[in-house]
Amino acid sequence: MTFTYTTAQQQGITVFHLTGEIIDKIQAAEFVEACNKLAASGKNRFILELSELRYMNSSGLNVLVNVLTRARNTGGEVVVCNLSKKVKDLLVITKLDTIFHILPTVEDAITKLNSK
């Protein structure tokens, strides 16, 4: 399965709905570039909605860390939500659950970002 994403704006926050699998950095290059452009323009608060992201490997983790780093370097933040068990377990095993804000729903993520 390939990787795709869609975006939506909610309360000044960009919500990315990620779908499929991230197993190669190149397949997520367009997504990373979209995040970089938004962050550079000051729109640096992102929600990554992962309910349809079925799998990712270390390349996928690298993509998420790059997006988080770019957002934070421009004064923004990233919240991930609606993780599948497989993706959540991967974040826990790699201890990335300690650097990402992980919440159950998009609404919770919006509340978190608006409280900053």
Question: What are the angstrom distances between the C-alpha of 92 and each of 17, 24, 47, 97, 102?
Answer: 21, 21, 19, 5, 11
pLDDT at 100: 97
pLDDT at 116: 73
Show the tokens assigned to 36: 């970089």
Q: Which fold has domain 4-114?
A: Transcription Regulator spoIIAA (3.30.750)
- Unique residue bearing structure tokens 């997006």: 67
pLDDT at 20: 95
How much is the pTM?
0.95
- In the chain, the amino acid numbered 47 is I
pLDDT at 45: 98
Residue ranges in the chain modelled with pLDDT below 50: none
